[in-house]
Amino acid sequence: MTVFPSISLTAQPFEPGALLTTFCAGRAETGAVASFVGLARAERGQTTVLELEAYPGFTDAAIAQFAEEAKARFALHDYRIVHRIGRIAPGEAIVFVATAAGHRRAAFEACDFLMDWLKSRAPFWKKEHGPDGDRWIEPTAQDRTDAERWD
């Protein structure tokens, strides 16, 4: 299986600050690093656990393909994407995205662009477990509209 060193799918909780520190280290030419951390929401008690399913070897390859497009489009120096899979409790980090570029605009925009795609089109299957049972969820209309801004 191809390994994508800039992309991790992990069933273990991760510490976003440590990822950002590592990502920022040892850069002489990068003027800007932008980052985003997505956290699991409790939805006012309606979601007790979020469950994310991926297809290993397919999901990470799809993310890598898209991220390389983003890297070219925004002339990024580098990027780092970490995504939780499995069962995620409210308050835990689900996704970490960091982008490095010469200047801030490209770093901000690339981070936004990657997140819009990850939220709406990345090959994950998401289930919410709550007091009223389980349900599979699909992207919201807002997620789709956000992603279409870049088309």
Partner 1 sequence: MARVLLFGRLADQAGWRERSVEAASLAALRDLLAAADPDLGEALGGPGVQVAVDKAIVRGEATLAAATEVAFLPPMSGG
Contact residues toward partner 1 (CB under 8 A) are 38, 52-53, 55, 57-58, 61, 83, 94-95, 118-127, 136-139, 143
Which residue, 30 or 119, is less far from partner 1 as judged by CB? 119
110 within 8 A of 99, measured Cβ to Cβ: yes
Which residue, 27 or 135, is less far from partner 1 as judged by CB? 135
- Least distance to partner 1 from the beta carbon of 58, Å? 5
81 within 8 A of 97, measured Cβ to Cβ: yes
Identity (one letter) of the amino acid at 141? A
Which residue, 30 or 83, is less far from partner 1 as judged by CB? 83
- Least distance to partner 1 from the beta carbon of 134, Å? 8
What is the separation, in whole angstroms, between the first and last Cα of the chain? 30
Taking the C-alpha atoms of residue 116 and residue 144, their distance in angstroms, rounded to an integer, is 8
- Least distance to partner 1 from the beta carbon of 1, Å? 9
Q: Which residues are bridge partners to 4 per DSSP?
A: none
Task: Specify the 3-state DSSP secondary structure of 39.
Answer: strand
Which residue, 30 or 128, is less far from partner 1 as judged by CB? 128
- Least distance to partner 1 from the beta carbon of 118, Å? 5
- Least distance to partner 1 from the beta carbon of 69, Å? 17
Which residue, 16 or 38, is less far from partner 1 as judged by CB? 38
Task: Specify the 3-state DSSP secondary structure of 33.
Answer: strand
Q: Which residues are bridge partners to 38 per DSSP?
A: 95
Q: Which residues are bridge partners to 82 per DSSP?
A: 8, 96
